[in-house]
Amino acid sequence: MTTTPTSPRRATPRTRRSAYAYASALAATALVLSACSSGGGGGGGGKEEGVGEDKTGAANYSVGTKDDSTGPAPEVPGAKKGGTVSVLQRDAFNHLDPGQIYYVDMLTAQLLYNRSLTNYKVDDKGRVKVVGDLATDAGTSSDGGKTWTYTLKDGLKFEDGSPITSQDVRWGIERLYASFETDGPLYIPQWLSGDGNDFRKALPDGPYNGQHLPASVLDTPDDKTIVFHFRRPHADTPFATAMPNIGPVKADKDTKQKYDNAPFSSGPYKVGDYKVGKSLTLIRNEHWDPGTDPIRHQYADRFEVSFGHQFADSTRRFLADQGDDKAALSFSNAVAPEMTEKVLADAGTKNRRFLEIQPYVDYIAFNTDRLKDVRVRRALAYAMPNGQILQQNGGTTAGVVATNLLSPAMDGYRPTDPFGKKAKPAGDTDKARELLKEAGKLGQEVVYAYPNTDTQQKVAVVVTQALERAGFKVQKKEVDANTYRTAIAEVKNQFDLYRCSWGADWPVSSTVVPPLFDSRQIADGSQNYSHLNDPKVDAEIDRISAVTDVKQAAPEWQKLADRILTEDVPAVPTFYNRQFSLWGSRLGGVKYHPVYGSADPTAVFVK
């Protein structure tokens, strides 16, 4: 997944497993990362407030039972109904359509109005179970893991009171084949119909012209049953069906691209008012039945989301804790770096903040279509000032200097450091200049794109200074933060390097390496931001994806990630993320969502 500013976001890889038992093994052997993008970073760099237990770790995840999938969600002690929750967000949402969602801020928001076949149940200790959301359980496999069957619960309804049926889920999946559905995760349609973008050939117009996938691919034998017939075994299906786009869309409410403005709710809240780029109001959905939902509550009357709040603005308001801001939070805004010490020193914030390890890696992507000389990309990697980038994002409460492309939480991770970032966190500009000189490229001009947020403007300064010391000429290109994520995901973008962030969708690196570096994923809206096109990498991705034992595959993914980083150099990792969050004193039920790396709104109430 991607994080907020450009948190990486989604994935379209192919993972191949052989049996349902491996879904449990998956949860037991790695962390469930959200393949999505994060907002990146929290607060200051001085006094360290230690993070707690790493909730992204493998032992924290499991696949739940049918009983775990039964609603209602456990009541929160002291919770009461009523009131309005204000949500202060920096970046406007690109999408409300669940089919297009893959960034952490939007992933978090959709929990309130959208339900999927499965989902993540997080207890009060941050432990995570994959459970049935719309479905009665996490799914039943047959045919060696190629066929998966889900049964819908009784009493499921849309916001108009009409029943949710298997045909609605089928419609939600089949619309992902349409050409305009480009930004969300594509595991399920690819597993059903073809790798990369080839899957679209199976249903090029989606379901809109009366065509459907054959029952031998996606079957709905009755109103309660959905059967997936995959081309290969996929034991990690319970994780893939937890993505927001594997849920119901009512055909006569599907307005195609306009669905972004008014998605039809299956959750406890529905869209009351949406002013694109300015605000979103979610109000109670009176047809949501808590007895069907093991995850969500409906304590607050409404959530009022407003956009355009820089981290300093939201932090200042949470600290002041006045008026309506007493009942305010942010899904993904972090404590402003320059205000960290003040927050840590304020005893009154102790019970309304958290500092948690996120499942994201920040990195600078290099556009290989424009930067064709690998020596130039290697020079950029050596010159990149990881430590200073981290400091501008908030220092120790924002994260840890990254040394390779995989998160330390990933199964099979090794702390390799090919560009010497631990020894030289400010970058090795002498080595970079030497490489440029050897390539005859001293003085090469590069276009560095970044969102116009307070933090990234400061990051741009230290990046530019380091690259200029290394012998580059830097043209800074400031991009509106509200459109930045779309801009860098365009194949024909006119940038040479740009900040991204990525977290795995679930415990294995097959949700990291393929979406980011498989050439068959290159398309507008996809996550191969570097446009890496290396047949040797593609072949190795296929080889490792065919390994049915995740324990055996894990070190192979690390080896491939290291090879990509050292030989192709399509990017340079900068830091592993932490999230430092603060909220108002009148809110209860705020907890950390380990999968998304954000503040979980599903149990929030106004005191």
Which pLDDT does position 1 carry in this prediction?
66
Q: What is the predicted pLDDT for the residue at 507? A: 63
Q: Beta 328-329 vs 84-89: how paired, if at all?
A: parallel
Kindly indicate the confidence band of residue 290, based on its pLDDT and cuts at 50, 70 and 90. Answer: very high
pLDDT at 46 over 60: no
- DSSP letter string, 167-198: HHHHHHHHGGGSTT--SS--HHHHHHH-STTG
pLDDT bucket at 111, cuts 50 / 70 / 90: very high
Give the confidence band of 526 by pLDDT, cuts at 50, 70, 90.
Answer: confident
Per-residue pLDDT at 49: 55
Q: Classify the C-alpha dihedral 555-557-563-565 as positive or negative.
A: negative
Least confident of 361-375, 451-465, 498-512: 498-512
Give pLDDT, residue 460: 97
* Predicted pLDDT of residue 509: 84
Note the pLDDT of residue 17: 25
Q: 5: how many CB neighbours lie within 10 A of its CB? A: 27
**3-class secondary structure, 346:** coil
Q: Does the pLDDT of residue 9 top 90, yes or no?
A: no
157-203 confidence digits (pLDDT tens)? 999 999 999 999 999 999 999 999 999 999 999 999 998 889 999 99
CB 43 within 8 A of CB 335: yes
- Closest listed residue to residue 146, CA positions, set 65, 236, 247, 212: 236
Of the candidate ranges 13-22, 179-188, 320-329, 384-393, the one whose mean pLDDT is the lowest: 13-22
Give the CA count within 13 Å in the CB-facing half-sphere of 380: 34
Name the residue with higher pLDDT: 6 or 342.
342
CB-based burial, 21-45: b 16+ in 10 Å, e otherwise: ebbbbbbbbbbbbbbbbbbbbbbbb
**In the prediction, which pLDDT does 206 show?**
97
State the DSSP string of 514-544.
HHHH-GGG-STT-S-TT----HHHHHHHHHH
Give residue-wise pLDDT tens across range 420-436: 999 999 999 999 999 99
Predicted TM-score of the model (pTM): 0.84
3-state SS, residue 244: coil
Question: In this model, does residue 22 exceed pLDDT 80?
Answer: no
How many of the other CB atoms lie within 10 Å of CB of 422?
Answer: 12
Instruction: Give percent of the chain with pLDDT exceeding 90.
Output: 78
d(C-alpha 469, C-alpha 473), whole Å: 9
CB 33 within 8 A of CB 577: no
Query: What is the distance between the alpha carbons of residues 192 and 203, in angstroms, rounded to a whole number?
Result: 11
Indicate the average pLDDT of the chain: 90
pLDDT of residue 510: 83
| For the chain, counts of helices (H) and of strands (E) | 15, 22
In this prediction, residues 303-328 reach a mean pLDDT of 97
Chain-centroid distance, C-alpha 39: 9
Rounded to whole angstroms, the Cα distance separating 545 from 602 reads 35
- Token pair listed for 140: 């039943």
pLDDT range class, residue 63, cuts 50, 70, 90? very high
pLDDT at 35 over 70: no
Bigger pLDDT: 567 or 511? 567
Is pLDDT above 50 for 214?
yes
Contact indicator for 4, 40 with CB cutoff of 8 Å: yes
Instruction: Give the mean pLDDT of 90-110.
Output: 95
pLDDT above 50: residue 31: no
Which residues have a Cβ under 8 Å from the Cβ of 598 and sit 6 or more positions away?
38, 39, 104, 105, 107, 108, 331, 332, 579, 592
Compute CA distances 553 → 26, 122, 321, 466, 540, whole Å.
12, 28, 49, 37, 11
pLDDT at position 15 over 50: no
Q: What is the 3-state secondary structure (H, E, C) of 252-293?
A: HHCCHHHHHCCCCCCCCEEEEEEECCCEEEEEECCCCCHHHC
User: pLDDT > 70: what percent of the chain?
Assistant: 91
**C-alpha pair distances (Å), 175 with each of 36, 37, 210:** 21, 23, 12
DSSP H or E run through 575: strand 571-582
Give residue 413's pLDDT.
Answer: 85
pLDDT interval class at 93 (50, 70, 90): very high
Mean pLDDT, range 220-229, rounded to an integer = 98
Residue 52 has pLDDT above 70, yes or no: no
Q: Given pLDDT bands bounded at 50, 70 and 90, which one contains residue 237?
A: very high
Q: Which residue has the tokens 């009755």?
A: 222
